[in-house]
Structure 1
Amino acid sequence: MRSGLTIIFLCLGLTVFAQQDPMLMRINGKDILRSEFEYIYNKNNALSGIEQKTLNEYVDLFVNFKLKVAAAEAMGLDTTRAFREELEGYRRQLAKTYLTDETVSELAARQIYDKMKANQRAGQVRVSHIFKSLPQTATSHLLRTTETRMDSLYTALQNGQADFDACVRNFSDEKKSFWVSWLQMPAEFEDTVFKMKPGEISRPFFTPQGIHIVKVLERKDILPFEDVKDEIVRRQTRRHGMDKGTESLVEKLKKEYQYTPDKVGMDELLAKGQTEKKLFTLGGREYTGQMFANFAIAHPQGIQRQLKGFIMKSVLDYEYSRLEQKYPEFRMLMQEYRDGMLLFEISNREIWERVPSDEVGMAAYFDKHRSDYHWKNPHYKGIVIHSATKRIGKQVRKLLKSLPEEEWQDAIRLTFNAKKQQVQAEQGLFALGDNIYVDDEIFKKEKAEPIPSFPFTTFLGEKIKGPESYQEVRGLLAGDYQNYLEERWVARLRAASKVEINQEVLKTVNKH
């Protein structure tokens, strides 16, 4: 009876969901829900500087977009290692904001900031120190010897018998000065330096890293909270393993996913350091001692901290696996990024990589659409020759008349400028305003002054109404040819596909 009721309620739930988010279109048998279309439609129409599209116009664009993505999937572009790694990297980055309680995290950071402002740890302190590193396994003899030496250095500094900077250079394991902010260095270090004034030198003191004599060089006031908030959270995490916002979220998720510890397994693990028993359940799944052992190998700490870390990681990993189900906006962003990657890759292969090297195709397109590229005003195609003497200018012009245009510059360089530069020349296609000498002589507009070293100017070329070769309008042509290839590609995709639009659901877009 219970299973029958479960099926009935499940069917009712699916029916309600289908009514809330109905199928808007079906492309090659794949359903597209209204929510996905609305998300992209509203997002793109909200972008400033983008031409606003009507609903029907955007439906066409959306269908073309989905057909291109489907073509990329058919080629297996979504299965490559590079694609999967980039998508997973984006997912990890996006998930960060979903795996912490932002309110609690900001409140904790604010409390730390207020403490920093209220005591001497506000701002930053730049320090230099005489530092001797001491390993955790240091013998008592090494500790005594190092401490005695540092005491002697401190006495010499106090009596003016030693220079601090010289001691840093000669004795310290750390030579460079550095800035210290709260929660950046060990507490013992910060307790000392934040009480000191610029120019003051500390007595020798120990930290977990070794023994120090510190000199404060300068101090800076604390920055505004918004400028340091993220850094405070990062330092809290480094020092304590997890920030307050994440800890708060974990506690909420434990309740949501019915985290249930197993006392027998927990007690055995804490007593013996290992167990084969169940430790806890989460979301209906059992987490065992063997799973903990695998975690512990990668996190060498005390057993209590290891267990706490394992529980937190398990909770966060479970939440990470459910983000698409739990948060529609997360699912939409992931879908958008995934489809965008596929669109870029397939467009690159079908269009963008092809255009620069398809000389035959561009030439054929230009011949067919030549009239589209006629100019409103004529251009000058040729060369402007500036020469040291009028005689040389005539010789240059006579020589170039007998040669193809592509050989003109080499002929000038080898014949007239080999030993001494006698000619300066500009060759190309010139519109009004491109070259003052062309404007003067050819277009009869602006008056040009002669070049002092090459005062005689002559021309070889002609005025033309439109380009003679596609190379002369290559930049403009490339964009048009790209659009032409895309139109043909979309037409092929459309012809090979079945697209069904639910017009009744389309009428409800943004109206439900």
Structure 2
Amino acid sequence: MNFKALVIVAMSTCGTLFSQVHKQDKVLFTLDGTPYYSEEFKRIYNKNLDLIQDPKQRDVDQYLDLFVLYKLKVSKAYDLKLHEGKSYINELKTNRDQLAERYLTDESLIDNLVVEAYNRSLKEINADHILFSAKPFASAADTLKVYNKALTVRNEILSGADFNEMAKKYSDDPSAKENGGALGYFSAFKMVYPFESGAYNTAIGQVSMPIRSQFGYHLIKVNEIRENRGEVTIAHLMLLKSTDNVVEKNTEIHERIKELDAQLKNGANFEELVAQYSEDTNTAKVGGILAKFRIGVMNEPEFEQTAFNLEKAGDISAPVETTFGWHLIKLIQKDPLPTLQESKIALENKVKRDSRSRMINEQLVKKIKQRFSVVEDHKLKKQVFSLVDLSFYKNSWKRPVEDKQYQKPLLTINKDRVATAMDFLKYIEKNQQAYRGVEPLSKAVDLAYEKFLESELKSYYMANLESEFPEFDHTVTEYREGLLLFELMETEIWNKAKVDTLGYTAYYEKHKQKYKQKQRLDLAIYHFEDEKVAKRTFKRWLKNPNLATAIPAVVKVESGLFDLQSAVVTERHIPTTQGVYQNPKDNREIIVVKEVIPEQILEMESVRSQLLEEYQDSFEAVWLENLKKEKKIEVNRSVLEEVKQELSKG
């Protein structure tokens, strides 16, 4: 947290200006007739009670003084129109947007998705699949046709047809022609969410019903489910296959990797062979070490299985073939899966990024639609829809020029927010590229309108968070007033005090004694290893102190300016007179007091930082006294007594 944020937080603990008046509110005090209410004061007092360190400030009267002063400052900031400053407005918007982010998601839904993802991550599924392609926005008839085809193939499989052969025959996944739809092992987040859910909800040996994803329909056969084995760190030595994939060349490369394997079995050093022979240039310089990984990350099932099958750190595999070449794999370390608590933040970020995020957005839109009423002009809507032609699919459709009939309200949210027909026309012109795959045209325009409506609803929801969530209103107000008070202090106190040279010079002259430098000793302490050498040197230096200016080569020296209360002086009982002394507690140590520097008042420039800080405090105190005189403060004593009684019960 930066300095400004710290100051704002400190200021905001004094109170907030949440002025929504409840029926039970009573006026606690007024500033020039402007009322401030008891409910607000009680809420702020109770909120900050645990933060108050000074027992005096726990006293309601004392706290009220602070609260009134806080309101005076806020009022002064508004009087000076600091809330109209561009930097203030921008910073407040940034803070509000950040605070609003949590209201764009359903925390309970995210928590459920996180727990679900973690539980799924504990297992690895081995599955095969058949893909029946269907466009995301295909017509109902086309979608049903693909679904029925998937259902027919599923029935054939249930009647005895081989799943992998059916994948080769029917799957629209090109790789199925070779692998029969085999996916190998995977865990949470490796597949799109609908597919993942279909796999985890299908029993071993069973074939799922057709599962819809953005790619089409899937039939999933689960072959095996096993415990997730965590993560593994390995090093590898790799020889690349020939670029032209000639069989003879690859055979030679395979023989070379087998020779290296034999050398390792005869005691050769793995890291040395990696440095000399590995063709993975990214890892060869670091012993062949790869970043740790889980099953499914490498997209090379044989490589992964071999790595995880190694048992002890240091074990080395036999040659393993992958798409890229041949590898010798050495186990460095195995790490178990982290706990839910350890992985919670990472899982939350993944949940918000992958296809699960659609569920989060859908939940929000559903909640907003239930909360706010929407009135549409269906006649105008039909008229606007008819303006869109097939140029829309070429991303070249242009909205009509400004026309009064298109400035009419197309939809009204909560009798408050109006979106005109022109607003929608501008939206569809700007975003037509996003709907090119949607047919027929009427469906594309319908979908664009739904997204436009969602956008308008979310925008309205975000703009009205304060009225929807009182705690959000409180928090934003704290930031608003915290920023205002920062601007106020910077404008009225800190900046003015900093340039008031006459003021802080006069303050320095008046308080000179505060900037006094205590008496100090200019010392050199010589540490000898040999006591006899130290004694001889001490005798010589006593006779001729000038010899002490030459530092002996075999001696450790500690030198500098030390005040009389420092441990260096007090622990050695160093005299406060110039001369050469031997440490009474350690004869190997000689102390030379070069100079005794008397107590002195420091020059103003040398204490400028401390002086300005103290002068700002003094400047602020005077400013506050004047501020209190600017507005008439009237406290309702009877209401204050009621507040005291209520707070004492809490």
TM-score over 0.5 (shorter chain): yes
Deviates more, 1:61-70 or 1:286-295: 286-295
1:231 aligns with 2:236: no
For 1:497, the aligned partner's letter is K
Give the match for residue 457 of structure 1: 593
Cα distance, 1:489 vs. partner? 0.9
The structure-2 alpha-carbon separation of the partners of 1:39 and 1:299, relative to structure 1 and needing over 3 Å to count, comes to farther
Deviates more, 1:326-335 or 1:251-260: 251-260
The structure-2 alpha-carbon separation of the partners of 1:495 and 1:436, relative to structure 1 and needing over 3 Å to count, comes to same
Give the match for residue 59 of structure 1: 64
The structure-2 alpha-carbon separation of the partners of 1:349 and 1:505, relative to structure 1 and needing over 3 Å to count, comes to same
User: TM-score if structure 2 supplies the norm length?
Assistant: 0.52
| 1:25 aligned counterpart, secondary structure | strand
| 1:435 aligned counterpart, secondary structure | helix
| 1:440 aligned counterpart, secondary structure | coil
Cα distance, 1:321 vs. partner? 0.5
Deviates more, 1:46-55 or 1:472-481: 472-481
Aligned 8 A contact 1:26 1:500 in 2: yes
The structure-2 alpha-carbon separation of the partners of 1:222 and 1:267, relative to structure 1 and needing over 3 Å to count, comes to farther
Cα deviation, 1:325-346, whole Å, max 9, x if unaligned, reads 1111111111111222232333
Higher relative contact order (CA 8 A, sep 6+): 1
1:94 aligns with 2:99: yes
For 1:61, the aligned partner's letter is L
Give the match for residue 26 of structure 1: 30
Cα distance, 1:102 vs. partner? 0.9
CA distance in 1, matches of 2:247, 2:82: 67
CA distance in 2, matches of 1:17, 1:95: 24
Aligned 8 A contact 1:101 1:249 in 2: yes
Cα distance, 1:323 vs. partner? 0.8
Give the match for residue 414 of structure 2: 283
CA distance in 1, matches of 2:236, 2:437: 32
CA distance in 2, matches of 1:459, 1:292: 81
**Aligned with 1:84 (options 86, 89, 111):** 89
User: TM-score if structure 1 supplies the norm length?
Assistant: 0.64
CA distance in 1, matches of 2:334, 2:305: 11
Give the match for residue 44 of structure 1: 48
Give 1:152-171 correspondences, 5 Å limit. Answer: 166=278, 168-169=280-281
The structure-2 alpha-carbon separation of the partners of 1:213 and 1:167, relative to structure 1 and needing over 3 Å to count, comes to same
| 2:122 aligned counterpart, secondary structure | helix
Aligned 8 A contact 1:250 1:312 in 2: yes
Aligned 8 A contact 1:250 1:316 in 2: yes
**Aligned with 1:249 (options 353, 356, 364):** 364
Cα distance, 1:125 vs. partner? 6.1
For 1:56, the aligned partner's letter is D
The structure-2 alpha-carbon separation of the partners of 1:102 and 1:369, relative to structure 1 and needing over 3 Å to count, comes to same
CA distance in 1, matches of 2:386, 2:289: 49
CA distance in 2, matches of 1:19, 1:250: 33
**Aligned with 2:123 (options 118, 133, 151):** 118
Give 1:432-471 correspondences, 5 Å limit. Answer: 433=567, 435-436=569-570, 439-442=573-576, 449=583, 455-457=591-593, 459-462=595-598, 468=601
Give the match for residue 467 of structure 2: 325
Sequence identity (%): 22
Give the match for residue 497 of structure 1: 631
Give the match for residue 129 of structure 2: none
Deviates more, 1:349-358 or 1:48-57: 349-358
For 1:41, the aligned partner's letter is Y
Give 1:116-155 correspondences, 5 Å limit. Answer: 116-120=121-125, 121=187, 122=228, 123-124=230-231, 149=245
Deviates more, 1:356-365 or 1:219-228: 356-365
Cα distance, 1:314 vs. partner? 3.1
Give the match for residue 221 of structure 1: 336
Cα distance, 1:362 vs. partner? 4.9
Aligned 8 A contact 2:410 2:419 in 1: yes
- Tell me how many residue pairs correspond in the alignment: 441
Aligned 8 A contact 2:109 2:360 in 1: yes
For 1:242, the aligned partner's letter is S
Q: Which runs of 5+ in 1 are unaligned?
A: 1-15, 131-145, 205-210, 397-415
| 2:519 aligned counterpart, secondary structure | strand
The structure-2 alpha-carbon separation of the partners of 1:48 and 1:497, relative to structure 1 and needing over 3 Å to count, comes to closer
CA distance in 1, matches of 2:614, 2:473: 36
Aligned 8 A contact 2:375 2:412 in 1: yes
CA distance in 1, matches of 2:497, 2:40: 32
Q: Which runs of 5+ in 2 are unaligned?
A: 1-19, 126-186, 188-227, 238-242, 261-273, 283-287, 311-316, 400-405, 439-443, 526-539
Give the match for residue 399 of structure 1: none
CA RMSD of aligned residues (A): 5.6
Cα distance, 1:299 vs. partner? 5.8
Cα distance, 1:490 vs. partner? 0.1
Aligned 8 A contact 2:562 2:569 in 1: no
1:258 aligns with 2:373: yes
For 1:26, the aligned partner's letter is T
Cα distance, 1:24 vs. partner? 3.5
The structure-2 alpha-carbon separation of the partners of 1:18 and 1:424, relative to structure 1 and needing over 3 Å to count, comes to closer
| 1:222 aligned counterpart, secondary structure | coil
Cα deviation, 1:156-194, whole Å, max 9, x if unaligned, reads 887766999955449xxxx99555569x97xx9599987
The structure-2 alpha-carbon separation of the partners of 1:385 and 1:95, relative to structure 1 and needing over 3 Å to count, comes to closer
CA distance in 1, matches of 2:231, 2:386: 46
Cα deviation, 1:204-229, whole Å, max 9, x if unaligned, reads 5xxxxxx9999997764322223333
The structure-2 alpha-carbon separation of the partners of 1:436 and 1:490, relative to structure 1 and needing over 3 Å to count, comes to same
